[in-house]
Chains A and B, each alone.
Chain A
Amino acid sequence: MYQQSYQPHQQGQAQHQPILTDEDLAYTVLADLKRVVNEYATAATESSCQQVRSLFTNLLNSTLQMQGQLFKTMEQNNMYSTSSPALRQEIDKQLKQNQQTAQKTDQFLQQLSLGGRMQQPYQQAQAPYMNQQQNNPYSPNSQYQQQSGQSGQHHHGPNPYYM
C-alpha cells in the first residue's frame, strides 16, 4: 500500500525529508474537506436570507466536488482502501425489504388519497440499476422539481464555481 509513495523520496527526488507521507498529507486535506462539507450543509439549513443560503449551497457543491476529486486521486494511487463489496445476498435482502417498505408507504398514502401517480421506479430499476448511477430511482420527482423551479436546480443551474 505504501510502496508507490515511499519510493520516490528514497531516490532523492525531494529536497528535504518530508515529515508526513503523501497519504497523510492527502488524508488531512480530505478529512477537512469532509468536515467542511458538513458545515456548509448545516449553514445552508440554518440561513434565513435566501442569498446567504444559496451561497452556502454553492460552496457545499464546490467543496463536495473537490472532496470527490481528491478521493479519486487517492484511490487511483492506492492511498485509500474502500470497504469490501457488499454481498449479493445482502443486496437482494435489503432491496426486497425496502421495496416492501416503500410499497407499504404507498398504500398508506393511497388510503389518505395522497398517493398520486408514481411510476414505481423501484421495480423497473432492478436490472439496469448499475448503469444508472446518475438516475437515482428515488428521485423521479424531477417533474415536480421542474414545476416548483427551486429545489434541485443547483445541479444544472448557472454556477460559476462548479468546474
Chain B
Amino acid sequence: MLQALTGKELEYLVDSISNEDLLIKQNAVMAESATNMQLRQLGQQMIQTHRQHVQMLLQSISQHQQLAPLQPQQ
C-alpha cells in the first residue's frame, strides 16, 4: 500500500543515498589501497551491496513520484 512520501521521508531517502554513495567511495579506497587481502575483498563485496542499496533507494523515490501532489497541501 503505497502512500505519498512525506517531506521527512524524502529527506531520509536522499540523505541515505548520500551515505551509501560515500560508503561506496570509502570502500573503493579500501579495496584499492589496503595491503590486507581480506580487507580488499571485503571492500569489493561491500561496494556491490552499497550499489544495490542506492538502486533500492532510487527505486523507492521513483515509485512515489506519481503519488506526489503538485500543489502544497494543508
8 shortest A-B CB distances, which residue pairs?
A: A43-B12, A8-B35, A49-B3, A25-B30, A18-B33, A36-B19, A22-B36, A22-B34
Residues of the A chain whose Cβ atoms lie less than 8 Å from the Cβ of B23: 29, 32-33, 36
**A–B complex contacts, Cβ < 8 Å, 12 sampled:** A18-B35, A22-B34, A22-B35, A25-B29, A26-B39, A29-B30, A29-B46, A49-B2, A49-B5, A50-B1, A63-B53, A77-B36
Contact B19 A47 (CB under 8 A): no
Summed over the interface, the residue pairs from A and B with CB atoms below 8 Å come to a total of 111
Residues on B facing A (Cβ under 8 Å): 1-6, 8-9, 12-13, 15-16, 19-20, 22-23, 26-27, 29-30, 33-36, 38-39, 42-43, 46, 49, 52-53, 56-57, 60, 63-64
What's the dominant secondary structure at chain A's contact region?
helix
